[in-house]
Amino acid sequence: MKGLWHHQPEDEYVVITTRVEGGEKEFRLVRYSDRERFPTIKQAKSHGFDTQETDDFNIGALRDAKLAAVLWMDEITDDNPEIMQKVALETGLES
């Protein structure tokens, strides 16, 4: 269920990049993050554009050092706690 997360002033943000790894018949999506934290979505987006040179990245919203939501630009793409736990493990954002 999307829509549980809402920005709070204490939230921090990171850039999350998804890559396709594998070949034509077998592949998987792998998520990465440099885990650099920013106090605003705007600063995280700027970092994403600087490092990716495209808008092909997501923003992770952290609350109390835990991944609370994944956004593309300003739109929530997911905030399901089970999925957030999986993404946090893949990106090294687990606390």
The tens digit of pLDDT for each residue in 4-18 reads 789 899 999 999 999
CA–CA distance, 38 with 94 (Å, rounded to integer): 17
Burial 68-82 (b: 16+ CB within 10 A, else e): bbbbeeeebebbeee
DSSP H helices, 31-80, are 41-52
| CA-to-CA separations, 80 to 16, 47, 52, 60, in angstroms, rounded | 16, 25, 26, 13
1-58 confidence digits (pLDDT tens): 456 789 899 999 999 999 999 988 999 989 999 999 999 999 999 999 999 999 999 9
Predicted structure pTM score: 0.88
